[in-house]
Amino acid sequence: MSKYLLIVLVIVLAATTAATAQKLPPSFSYTIYVRGQPAGKSVTTVKETADAYILESHTTVEFGEFQLELKTSTEADKETFIVRDFYFEGTRMESQIEGEVTIDGKSVSGQIIENGLASPVDKVSNQPQIIVFENYVIAHEILLARAFLASGSDPAKFGMYLPSVTVITGVDVAKGSELSIESETQEAICDKILVSIQNSSAFASYYDPQRGLPVYLAFPSTLTEVFLDDFFEDQPVTRYRGQ
């Protein structure tokens, strides 16, 4: 029995080390579809310091009456992929928005400015590690998947800060089955990562260990899909259709 447990421990540690050691690529981009139609793009460049990744993203989304253009900078720990600092500026609908928050353990502090009106942010999470999750900023989806894999726990619990609504909630992350995802020209064997946000709808991230990125994300409740451009080569096949 002890020998069996030792083997399992070695496997878990090896998987955790691989997820932590694998570097993020210098850049990546994703196309966002809503109800089966292209609705936006999120493009990210990655910089490195000695102990952190800095992900700078430009995200544009437009469907129906909704419009978003956002520039963001997210600093995350190089080993845990937990966010330390998040800055954003841009427009949502007709509002000018800007803000910056710092994450320290269970605490989130900073300020949000909307149309010139500043509001302080001072939140505390029930969980010791906090995921930052801004809608349509796909860099945050990647950090979430990386933080889960680096944690070595399955399932894993995190706190989650939602900048759009300045709320902290909880999130459960678990690994589902291994699946093959195909584009017109490529195939990837992906780990399905299931994300359940408290008081919200669950979604799935299809993470390719070879790339260190999700190639596809599905949000069934909003009929939203996200496709890695490098994998789908501007030819994504959507599973959803508009009404």
Residue 219 lies in a domain: no
Q: pLDDT at position 11, please?
A: 41
Residue 160 lies in a domain: yes
Q: pLDDT at position 21, please?
A: 56
The CA-CA-CA angle for residues 99, 79, 208, to 5°, reads 90
Residues 6+ apart with CB under 8 A from 128: 105, 106, 159
Residue 107 lies in a domain: yes
Q: pLDDT at position 22, please?
A: 75
Q: pLDDT at position 201, please?
A: 87
Residue 206 lies in a domain: no
| Residue numbers of the domain that contains 147 | 2-170
Joined together, the tokens standing for residue 130 give 């906090």
CA 37/CA 9 separation, integer angstroms: 45
Closest residue by Cα to residue 160 from 147, 150, 175: 147
**Residue where the block lists tokens 């900023």:** 137
Q: pLDDT at position 41, please?
A: 98
Instruction: Tell me: cis bond preceding 155? Omega within 30 of 0 counts.
Output: yes
Residue 110 lies in a domain: yes
CA 27/CA 146 separation, integer angstroms: 16
Q: pLDDT at position 128, please?
A: 87
Residue 204 lies in a domain: no
Q: pLDDT at position 140, please?
A: 98
Domain count, the chain: 1
Block mean pLDDT (10 aa), the chain, length 243: 41 44 89 96 97 98 96 97 97 95 96 96 94 97 97 96 93 95 92 95 95 96 96 89 65
